[in-house]
Chains A and B, each alone.
Chain A
């Protein structure tokens, strides 16, 4: 149900195969990384020959074959989860509360749990591979108890590796939310897959080593303080004994064992590296350019043609790939451009161009609309609405309900995880907790979390059921990558009436409300990032349109582009105006901090700058191509003035 029938062919025929190929490659590459891990774990400078013999014997043993099969299963699972959770539009949390909401979403919790379990499995494999004192969970106690019986004792070293695997897996999945690891971005330049992979391999190794270091540090600290809990639990549930002669590991002397720490670090690195590789391969395979036919002679292939695919909403990656293909064909392929400019036979209508330009223009108009309404809603001091201004905001949100909604559109994306609160709070005994949120609910910038939160406050209210339904919808499998359009079109929140009813009798903000208010206002740049979250689509649309218009100067034999030139120019100029206004806002033009080593893609943070640059270049591309001929194009006086600036290179 996540994909309309029309987009289904793509998921079945292309996406699944790409995902499967990426998983297959990561499984094929697993022996190499496993061998490296074995060598590193047996590392001994003084006895190289023995080390070599050890490694070979470990690699050829039956146990390692079994653990390898297990690891392959883990990789397949990781690949599957990546495929399920990836998104081409990053979910940007506008506030800390929203981020918390993302982390606590049941879907996310499931993801974390799966990673934790897989981490334990990898930890077990590591322990078995390392051998020595790590190999078994239990061993015969050296001393007999009072009755003279031999008991099985718990091997804490083994337990430590298992727990570490679980911890690293969990922290990997949680950090993934914060760093947007599941966001798949499209590269600046097209490269062959092998070269892409080769280039990103050192980064993956570096990231996994660094990340493993921090994870192990945190884990060791955690184990130092809380290590006795899992140990006691293990002993109790498996009826094992603690070896009194062995030194407990949750002590300073126990943990300050260099070889232990080294092995912990190596196995965490191995775990993260194999997962990062899977992720990288998935990104590389899924973002590979796909060439859609511009037109087809067979009617059954019509849904797979570019003009049709462009207008589709689902799955989002299909739209992105189609736009990417449009931008590539407009730059590099004269033969496919000629198909775009061609007329239909019979009839003589430029259907291809009309469909493509209409879709691109509607994308641009959509962004313009979003920016304009964002600008309108931002108060004069450049900050999001504060508590006091809530009431007057309400009227305008009612009057321009749809616009208002459009302005929050990107934030709708992250409603998905946020709606956990709906459940946890609504069901739990802390329902009063929601009341502090009510005061600024009517602010359009109330984070969706809060909107969702407050909705079920009064189960008797008519909105109760309504708000539930998108939630139900949201549980459909594909919702991380989903476009909000479907929600907007298909679900009740689309209508302005479903905006949560403001509570005029807003209670005095409590301490908790103040606390949350503070947490909410801490990410000023995020709302600007969220506005441009799907900026890549607009960048391609601008590129595609401007290159096609440029090519039409010499290649368009029937003048099909000329008819749309005024609307293309005016929508670009309108967008330019809106973008210029947006960048005058505080925080909008502040550059994000360079991220430290991380595999998380931070390109979404700079999308707005890229969009601004692309927009200017696109307008310049048209003005330099057409030059003085543009004076003959029908435009409003204001746009003409603006265009004159471009013609004189003064923008």
Chain B
């Protein structure tokens, strides 16, 4: 069941996908059709830090400080290991037994951590490598745009750039506030707080920052006092965050920490939810109805939490860790992709558990809904291979379009990263139909994507490209389901959608088949 063979062939070179209309993807020549909405951040325009803080530290550290002062500084900066290192290094100043002893303890600690690391190999990675490994962004360390977040209710969005700044764009205002903070380094993810106009949570290397950007303020550089710092010892780097759809709680996850944090942001307090298996938490996704949370780990295991009593189901995978996942708008269906496999799985959950039934009634096994193994398309520019492992999944808020970012192969020129879009239907039965590929300028690959949370005319996919460009691809269609209450304001009338008859034959997956 290879799904990609049913897709329309990719566009020839020089053509970019513009939009979907009347059930087909329209393309155009990119030079003429640079949309006014698109943004461009050329790499050269960013002032990058030439050296990191840790590398410059050695150059400035005053070594004439007393041993006592240096030890205190090492304890503050590097904890116990830092202190032991400092004592071991300055063996001329301390008694011999002390330096030997601390050296022994250090060796013991290293041995233990290497043993721990052999159980969970990801623990040996550096912070940046770890973020790059587990991020939803393709090739994160090389990205100009490191994170992107649409506001859930309005047309504004935030962009995190390689130079550790965040810019907020709002079509209704001329100012674009730039957010900078001392702790805002290596931004892995961002999300706006639902049911709030101003709060933006940012997952940074050492903490989670929650910015409060007053939408009426004219300031272009909000001070760092507008940011709340949420940090917990051992909980770094933060690779994923998720607000509850009700806006009350914030979840944060770090691959280094086996517990995921539930933050009460206003009180700046957190409740750790610890499950040791898996060795950390890499990716979080809160279902739109708020009843479940997907939490994947660096091992071949992911969990689905139920949010009333915070109990979880363990889902061991066969091959690798869960790379990405997304929920249907009603929270009843979870699609996920596993590292090392080229298929999309689906899990179906019973509706939100009632208060009387606390147990989570879940499915027994995941069903394969799409196979994205490599497929060769013969185009005029030569053969093009599409397919392979999945980097991230995104489902539009109405549940009608599913975008899949395929990793491709950076070595092979004819196997680029590409976004494949499926048409989906969730009711009465789950169906998956091919829609097409979203392509950009030649030689530019998509790095991340996100659907606009309340686009009136269908779905709007925002794609960040490796060139630093951000474009929006609208999918115009009439919705077949009642729009979600709370997302699109007042309920509009039902629009019966007339689907072309030939789609029935093209259907990739329906629940009736499986």
Contact = CB atoms under 8 A, between A and B. Distances in A.
B266 A334 contact: no
B246 A189 contact: no
Contacts of B66: none
B197 A650 contact: yes
Interface stretch (B8-16, B305-313, B331-339): B305-313
A610 B266 contact: yes
A571 interface: no
Interface stretch (A16-24, A400-408, A557-565, A626-634): A626-634
Nearest to A619: B195
Contacts of A332: 308, 352-355
A187 B290 CA distance: 18
A306 to B, nearest CB: 12
Given A190-B310, A192-B311, A624-B153, A613 B265 contact: yes
Given A610-B266, A621-B195, A624-B195, A190 B485 contact: no
Given A188-B269, A191-B309, A606-B268, A617 B486 contact: no
Contacts of A614: 248, 266
A328 B247 contact: no
Given A199-B274, A603-B267, A628-B489, A334 B354 contact: yes
A478 interface: no
Given A190-B309, A192-B309, A628-B490, A199 B247 contact: no
Contact of A335 (B262, B266, B356, B486): B356
A626 B272 CA distance: 35
A616 interface: yes
A328 B265 CA distance: 19
Contacts of B198: 651
Contact of B269 (A543, A606, A649): A606
Nearest to A191: B310
A614 B262 CA distance: 16
B248 A617 contact: yes
A333 B354 contact: yes
A257 to B, nearest CB: 23
A332 B356 CA distance: 10
A189 B262 contact: yes
B23 interface: no
B333 to A, nearest CB: 19
B247 A617 contact: yes
B354 A617 contact: no
Interface string B468-507: 0000000000000000011101100000000000000000
A189 B266 contact: no
Q: Report whether over half of chain B's contact residues are helix, strand or loop; otherwise say mixed.
A: loop
A629 B268 CA distance: 35
Contacts of A610: 264, 266-267
A579 to B, nearest CB: 12
A616 B199 CA distance: 12
A348 B486 CA distance: 30
A626 B151 CA distance: 19
B486 A624 contact: yes
A204 to B, nearest CB: 15
Nearest to B309: A190
A482 to B, nearest CB: 25
A625 interface: yes
Given A333-B356, A621-B246, A188 B311 contact: no
Contacts of A187: 271
A553 interface: yes
Nearest to B355: A333
Contacts of A624: 153, 195, 486-487, 489
Nearest to A624: B486
Q: How large is the interface on B (under 10, 10 to 19, 20 to 34, 35 or more residues)?
A: 35 or more
A583 interface: no
B490 A627 contact: yes
A188 B352 CA distance: 20
A627 B489 contact: yes
A612 interface: yes
B485 A625 contact: yes
B310 A189 contact: yes
B355 A328 contact: yes
Contact of A609 (B196, B248, B267): B267
Contacts of B487: 624
Interface string A93-136: 00000000000000000000000000000000000000000000
Interface string A187-230: 11111100100010000000000000000000000000000000
Interface string B207-218: 000000001100
B355 A617 contact: no
B74 interface: no
Contacts of B247: 617, 620-621
Contacts of B356: 333, 335
A620 B489 CA distance: 11
A550 interface: yes
B264 A188 contact: yes
Contacts of A606: 266-269
A188 B249 contact: yes
B121 to A, nearest CB: 27
Contacts of B197: 620, 649-651
Interface string A311-342: 00000000000000000110111111000000
A554 interface: yes
Between A329, A609, A616, A649, the greatest number of chain B beta carbons within 10 A of the residue's beta carbon is seen for A649
Interface string B248-279: 11000000000000101111110111100000
Nearest to B358: A192
B456 interface: no
Interface string A520-559: 0000000000000000000000010001001001100000
A162 to B, nearest CB: 36
B379 interface: no
Contacts of B309: 190-192
B355 A609 contact: no
A291 interface: yes
A509 B489 CA distance: 63
Contacts of B262: 188-189
Interface string A585-610: 00000010000000000010011011
B368 to A, nearest CB: 32
Contacts of B308: 190, 328, 332
B301 to A, nearest CB: 19
Interface in B182-215: 195-198, 215
B154 interface: yes
Contacts of A190: 308-310
Contacts of A336: 355
Given A291-B355, A550-B486, A649-B154, A199 B272 contact: yes
Contacts of A625: 485-486
Contacts of B265: 613
Interface in B273-317: 273-274, 290, 308-311
B195 A617 contact: yes
Contacts of B485: 553-554, 625
A196 B352 CA distance: 23
A609 B272 CA distance: 21
Interface string A169-189: 000000000000000000111
A411 B62 CA distance: 52
Nearest to A608: B266
Given A189-B249, A332-B353, A554-B485, 20 more contacts: A188-B267, A190-B310, A191-B271, A191-B273, A199-B272, A291-B355, A331-B290, A332-B355, A543-B248, A547-B246, A607-B267, A609-B267, A613-B266, A616-B196, A621-B195, A625-B485, A625-B486, A649-B215, A650-B216, A651-B198
> Which 9 pairs across A and B sit closest by C-beta, in order of nearness?
A627-B489, A333-B355, A606-B267, A613-B266, A620-B195, A649-B197, A610-B266, A609-B266, A627-B490
20 contacts: A188-B267, A189-B262, A189-B271, A191-B310, A192-B309, A192-B311, A291-B355, A331-B290, A334-B354, A606-B266, A606-B267, A606-B269, A609-B267, A613-B265, A614-B248, A621-B195, A621-B247, A624-B486, A625-B486, A651-B198
